Amino acid sequence: MKKAIALLFIFVLIIIIIPAVVVIPYTHQVAHQQTQKRITQDQKTISKAALISVSVYRSADKRVDQVALNDYLIGVVGSEMPAKFRLEALKAQAIAARTYIMARIMENPNRQVTDTVQNQVYHSRTELKKIWGNDYHWKIKKVTQAVAETDAQVITYKGKLISPVFFSTSNGQTENAKDYWSNNVPYLKSVPSPWDKLSPKYRIKKKLRTVDVERALDVRLGSNGDLGKVLKKTATNHIALYRVDGKIFTGRQIREKLKLSSTDFQLIKNGNQVIAQTLGSGHDVGMSQYGAEGMAREGKSAKQIITYFYQGTQLSKMTVKAQQALAKK
């Protein structure tokens, strides 16, 4: 009988004590979380990384991934700019990438972006590991640092997020937005970018089949020599108007139809080939990536790079309140 009473007593202790041991740490954790929540609410600032995700259409797999903001930025910076670039250049790229995606999210939170040049090129960490191979660890560390050290920084012009277009390499000067896209954008003005001459993409030669050029431009090409005539150039020596076989094209049309590197080009017909010689790579508007790298080599900061290529802009701090991103000076 005594033995039975003793066993019953032990059983009751187990029922009472074990749940207490389980609940106490959990209750402490909840209390801690509630305290942290109150602190955050008192500060009226919520970490954007915890709240914002990006809907990325993965073009290869034809699916949509929800990617945390900072992970998305790491994937963009790692895909859009060589990781071997100086940290300040990578930071400038991170700020531009953050500004671009936040402007889209604020305009329409449900809008998707592609993982291609149509928006910003994006690769996941797994994909970057395959691309970078043995260099993955140091490259991902450097790109992650660039994103982390620019946390919440965006580019604004008169209090509004800008359209931070960028490209690889200029012909020595960036182009005015109005001379490439026809619409004037006050912060996308031409600036010298002499550092680009050291870019491996500064001078490019491309060979095209004559028949492909004729088909792309819907023209008939004559004898050998210069193909067509330059009618007008922009102030930065990019081709504005070009005539071929009596038809007039903009420099942008020629570049896009023939898939040339830039609008600073020369076309020469040689038998059944057309030789295209270009200076620079990209649309030449906004921030030159090799220009950013050149400035970083000279000791310039990401802020100096940004405010140089995007004239009249400033860096602002982005906060998230009530699930809305706000840019503050």
Using the 3D structure, point to which of 263, 279, 295 is the last residue of a domain: 279
In a domain, 313, yes or no: yes
- What is the predicted pLDDT for the residue at 320? 67
Last residue of a domain, one of 279, 297, 319: 279
Q: Are residues 59 and 158 in the same domain?
A: yes
* Same domain assignment for residues 292 and 313: yes
Q: What is the pLDDT of residues 76-123, one digit of tens each?
A: 999 999 999 999 999 999 999 999 999 999 888 888 999 999 999 999
- 139 and 207 in a single domain? The answer is no
245 located within any domain: yes
Domain identity same for 272 and 295: no
Structural domain contains residue 32: no
Domain residues for 219? 196-279
- Over the range 103-122, which residues count as b (16 or more CB within 10 Å of their CB) and which as e? bbbeeeeeeebebeeebbbb
Give residue 326's pLDDT: 52
Instruction: Work out the burial of residue 19: count CB atoms within 10 Å of its CB; fewer than 13 is exposed, 13-18 middle, 19 or more buried.
Output: exposed
Q: Residue 49: its pLDDT value, please?
A: 52
* Residue at 107 is within a domain: yes
Q: Is residue 34 part of a domain?
A: no
pTM score above 0.85: no
AA identity, residue 206: K
Residue 247 and residue 210 share a domain: yes
Shared domain for 103 and 81, answered yes or no, is yes
Q: Are residues 65 and 150 in the same domain?
A: yes
User: What's the pLDDT at 239?
Assistant: 97
The answer to whether residue 321 sits within a structural domain is yes
- 252 and 292 share a domain? no
In the chain, which stretches have pLDDT less than 50?
1-48, 322-323, 329
Residue 187 lies in a domain: no
Q: Give pLDDT, residue 297.
A: 98
Give the domain-ending residue among 279, 299, 315.
Answer: 279
Rg of the chain taking only CA atoms, in angstroms: 28
Whether residues 252 and 110 fall in one domain: no
- Same domain, yes or no: 291 and 264: no
Looking at the fold, whether 255 and 294 belong to one and the same domain comes out as no
Number of domains comprising the chain = 2
Q: What is the predicted pLDDT for the residue at 321?
A: 60
Q: Is residue 273 part of a domain?
A: yes
Q: Are residues 115 and 52 in the same domain?
A: yes
| Amino acid 327: pLDDT | 52
Distance between CA 167 and CA 101 in Å, rounded? 17
